Structure 1
Amino acid sequence: MSEKGIDYLRNKLNAHKIRVDMRYKQYAMQHTEQMVGITIPPEIRRRYRSVIGWCAKGVDSLADRLVFREFENDDFEVNEIFKVNNPDVFFDSVVLSALIASCSFVYISKGVDDEPRLQVVGAGDATGVIDPITGLLTEGYAVLERDENGVATLEAHFLPGQTNYYYKDKNIEDISFSHNFPHPLLVPVIHRPDEARPFGRSRISRAGMYFQRYAKRTLERADITAEFYSFPQKYVTGLSNDAEPMESWKATVSSMLQFTKDDDGDKPILGQFTTSSMSPFTEQLRTAAAGFAGEMGLTLDDLGFVSDNPSSVEAIKASHENLRLAGRKAQRSLGSGLLNVAYIAACLRDDFPYTRSQFINTTPMWEPLFEADANTLTLVGDGVIKINQAIPGYIDGKAIRNLTGLKGANANG
């Protein structure tokens, strides 16, 4: 495959950065929606800007359940590489970034004692040309440092066997780093890739953003309506033309008003306009929540609409079936990317061009998506006894750990 060049990759990153930055703003609850509507003036709507964290909830509800355990059948001791690279932060950062922006990148370099150093680079700062067979890059580009204005001060162009570094400061000489295996030192970790979208799909979908935007508009309208609901408009008819004008604020908050008859003996009539009900907004907000929950595989309880009866763990699992399936899919796709990271890091550590096929037996292992409670442990225990009675030794401690997440006292893994 011919080399695309750093200019091509710069333009590719700029084309996708807007989309990535917008989803990060959605996650951080900093995205400002375009004001729409035909009844509320824009200057009034600006005063009642609403903020909802449903997109962040949709991402975190899955990211918090994706807990990487280790690599099984670790013939090349890649677990040691991750142990010295702050794994508690590294894996969570990779998973969260991939769920928000559809993919994340891991930049691999040599650190202290020539040990591989792993650095997570977001999709807004890296891109590349992907090999659809292996999921590795054939050529990559990343912005490794930016100044306070967001301008790139250090760029890296990743090629098979070589990495070129470019500094914005012309007083610093550009450098190159060579290695002896035919893959770049930038590895993508992709969430839900397919043929049409090789760099995956974001957890923050267009439908999810629509339902959140719909809910924000509903809250803004409800907030403005609440002003009239709190202080309903009143009116007086039949006042004499000679009567003194009434101060509107006094008429609103005063506990006692006095009106006298005029010379003809007529008296004014007091009235109050019917106040708007808040119920339609509650129903609208619940409709938006139901749509968002269906899109993300959540329940209304997850979005704050608490039900009267608390659910058991089994009931929670049943109601989160779509979330469980999304988690399984994410484990498969992200696990493949993490295995590629382990492969490239092992090649760099050992200074040896291993082949990708040598790592086919190394398997990424994840903790169960749902933690087991006492009832689940009882059911699993009864099932294991019956299965092992029928087929002795069919289920061992490793299988039970994969089911429940519990590590036995004598387990080595």
Structure 2
Amino acid sequence: MFTLPQMVQGMSLDDLTLYRTLKKRLMDKRRRNNLRNAYYDGKNELHDIGYSLPHVASDIDIVVGWPEKAVDVLANRIIMDGIRTADGSKSLPDNVYQLIQDNALFESAAQAHKSALVNSCAFIAALAGDTTIGEPSTIIEVFTADHASGVWDARRHGLEAALLVEVADDDKETASVIYMMTYEHTLVIERANRGWEVVSDQANTGRIPCELLAYRPDDRRPFGRSRITRAVMSYTDSAVRTFLRSELQADLYSVGSRYLLGADKSMFTDAQGNSIPKWKILLDSVLVIPDNPKTGDRIEVGQFQQSSFQPHIDQLRNTASLFAAATSLPPDELGVLTDNPSSAEAIDKAQKELCLLAESCQASFGFAWLNILKKALGADAPELVLQWRNPATPSRAAAADATTKLVSAGILPADSEVVYDMLDLTDDQRKSLRAYQQVKRAQERLDQLYSQLDSVNGGSDGDVGNGVRETTE
């Protein structure tokens, strides 16, 4: 069970007051965060409305993965796949490249973005590593909203204070290290023999070494909004109930209901006098009822028309349409097929809305990532630019065709970083191209010098071994 200490040794009264404020905010938000995590993981509890489902439905597990789909489809369009210097004229400095490699930065960024979409926000922090145990000197760590909280400073457009909790990998969310950051310092809190105490106090300057990744923030809600909204949860519950009704109908009512005229209870008892369960009578392929031995009357047996699945299918399609509208997804993405599939215009419209959301996330997330990279690199931090994958996810052929037209028209130079961005080239591909361009430019410069030298000497000098020119006095 996730718990935090109430008292911390070695902490001033002001810091302790702030710590308790941040702790209360964190614990108060955990219930809603855990609920959204459950919906994303497909572990949400069924919300029965009383009359719509029989009691036996509580024993049937139905999972609807729509919330996961709503998050993953957008997260897959917010991919940071490279970092370059602002001038684009040289490869990354060694300290930047080493920071990316040590922290698996692009993989961590993808996980942080997905967490922000689920819980409305996530936290990224630049922490000092312990090199004596093999850690890198600087660690960029992601903290989910389940284990972090903060205070927003609207004047500085950043966090004024943050409480970050590292948890052990023991399936119990046991807190192992706590970080509390303010403009003045960063406190590292660990468990000791006497409880929890401050083991490190590091001074801060400027922005705190922690940034907020918030999805769709505004002035009223600077910590953003979850992609798993109340509407998403409501539509998911409705879909689960619809699936349950169809499952129950398939198992119990697909054979149709019978009716008997002139029967009595004695005809539905076994040899021991026990009543035969109704479900067994309903599912029996052969129903044998003898004539009344006293009167000789024959029991009339009939059957009601078999129930149809069509109402369930129609309701599921309607729910899927509402869910798609709430999440800007094409209905076909939800696995619900219709007689009239979504038109190309409808699909294009939904994808454009997703692209707009992804571009908005790239702008707000990119601001936070650049700030945390500057904190991690310190005074030697160069001006960096993040490379984002095109959220429209065009094919390689389409991207190359559009780029070729712009280069041919003279709008873009063929070897610019903008062209590389449009082609979604990886960092390794960019490095290879830059190296090739340097060799090419050097060769062109040599050729120019040889040409100038030939013109000065009247073109009388020839080439000698291996293409190296030799001049004579």
TM-score of the alignment, normalized to the shorter chain, above 0.5: yes
Q: CA deviation at 1:373?
A: 2.4
Q: Distance in 2 between matches of 1:256 and 1:45?
A: 27
Show the 5 A alignment for 1:290-329.
Answer: 290-306=321-337, 317-329=348-360
Q: CA deviation at 1:195?
A: 0.3
Segment of structure 1 superposing worse, 109-118 or 219-228: 109-118
TM-score normalized with structure 1 length? 0.83
Q: CA deviation at 1:211?
A: 1.1
The amino acid that maps onto 1:346 is L
Q: 1:369-405 CA deviation, whole Å, 9 max, x = no partner?
A: 23332652464156325532xx5x4675533333342
Q: CA deviation at 1:307?
A: 6.7
Structure 1 match to 2:256 = 232
Structure 1 match to 2:37 = 24
Going from structure 1 to structure 2, the CA distance change for 1:126 and 1:244 (only over 3 Å counts) comes to closer
Q: Distance in 2 between matches of 1:305 and 1:116?
A: 48
Gaps of 5+ in 2: 1-13, 88-92, 271-275, 436-473
Instruction: Return the index of the structure with the highest Cα Rg.
Output: 2
Q: Please say if residues 48 and 224 of structure 1, whose CA atoms lie closer than 8 Å, have aligned partners that are also in contact.
A: no
Instruction: Tell whether 2:52 aligns with 1:59.
Output: no
Q: 1:83-129 CA deviation, whole Å, 9 max, x = no partner?
A: 32112421112111111111111232222557311111111111111
Instruction: Tell whether 2:422 aligns with 1:403.
Output: yes
Q: Please say if residues 129 and 139 of structure 2, whose CA atoms lie closer than 8 Å, have aligned partners that are also in contact.
A: yes
Q: Distance in 1 between matches of 2:366 and 2:250?
A: 49
Q: CA deviation at 1:338?
A: 0.8
Structure 1 match to 2:146 = 124
Q: CA deviation at 1:251?
A: 6.8
Going from structure 1 to structure 2, the CA distance change for 1:205 and 1:128 (only over 3 Å counts) comes to same
Q: 1:13-72 CA deviation, whole Å, 9 max, x = no partner?
A: 11222222211111111121332132434x323123421111011101111222102334
- Number of aligned pairs? 399
The one of 281, 285, 288 aligned to 1:254:
285
Structure 2 match to 1:368 = 390
Q: 1:182-237 CA deviation, whole Å, 9 max, x = no partner?
A: 33333222222110111111111111111111111111222222233323221222
Segment of structure 1 superposing worse, 46-55 or 117-126: 46-55
Q: CA deviation at 1:327?
A: 0.8
State the identity as a percent: 26
Show the 5 A alignment for 1:2-401.
Answer: 5-41=18-54, 43-74=55-86, 78=96, 80-111=98-129, 115-145=137-167, 149-150=172-173, 152-171=175-194, 174-179=198-203, 181-239=205-263, 249=280, 252-255=283-286, 257=288, 259-260=290-291, 266-306=297-337, 317-347=348-378, 350=379, 362-373=384-395, 376-377=398-399, 379-380=401-402, 383-384=405-406, 387-388=409-410, 391=411, 393=412, 397-401=416-420
Q: 1:353-381 CA deviation, whole Å, 9 max, x = no partner?
A: x8xxxx8x633220112333265246415
The alignment's C-alpha RMSD in Å is 3.4
Q: CA deviation at 1:276?
A: 2.2
Q: Please say if residues 123 and 210 of structure 2, whose CA atoms lie closer than 8 Å, have aligned partners that are also in contact.
A: yes
Going from structure 1 to structure 2, the CA distance change for 1:346 and 1:35 (only over 3 Å counts) comes to same
Q: Distance in 1 between matches of 2:268 and 2:228?
A: 60
Q: Distance in 1 between matches of 2:282 and 2:49?
A: 34
Q: Distance in 1 between matches of 2:307 and 2:129?
A: 65
Q: CA deviation at 1:306?
A: 4.5
Q: Distance in 1 between matches of 2:339 and 2:264?
A: 57
Q: Please say if residues 83 and 385 of structure 2, whose CA atoms lie closer than 8 Å, have aligned partners that are also in contact.
A: yes
Q: Distance in 2 between matches of 1:83 and 1:243?
A: 78
Q: Please say if residues 330 and 347 of structure 2, whose CA atoms lie closer than 8 Å, have aligned partners that are also in contact.
A: no
The amino acid that maps onto 1:83 is Q
Q: Distance in 2 between matches of 1:40 and 1:412?
A: 65
The amino acid that maps onto 1:164 is L
The amino acid that maps onto 2:44 is H
**Secondary structure of residue in 2 paired with 1:411:** helix
Q: Please say if residues 317 and 370 of structure 1, whose CA atoms lie closer than 8 Å, have aligned partners that are also in contact.
A: no
Q: Distance in 1 between matches of 2:344 and 2:399?
A: 11
Q: Distance in 1 between matches of 2:366 and 2:147?
A: 22
Gaps of 5+ in 1: none
Q: Distance in 1 between matches of 2:125 and 2:86?
A: 22
**Secondary structure of residue in 2 paired with 1:200:** coil
**Secondary structure of residue in 1 paired with 2:434:** coil
Q: Distance in 1 between matches of 2:331 and 2:79?
A: 24
Going from structure 1 to structure 2, the CA distance change for 1:88 and 1:363 (only over 3 Å counts) comes to closer
Q: Distance in 1 between matches of 2:267 and 2:247?
A: 36
Q: CA deviation at 1:341?
A: 1.1
Q: Please say if residues 163 and 178 of structure 1, whose CA atoms lie closer than 8 Å, have aligned partners that are also in contact.
A: yes
Q: CA deviation at 1:170?
A: 3.4
Q: Please say if residues 215 and 285 of structure 1, whose CA atoms lie closer than 8 Å, have aligned partners that are also in contact.
A: yes
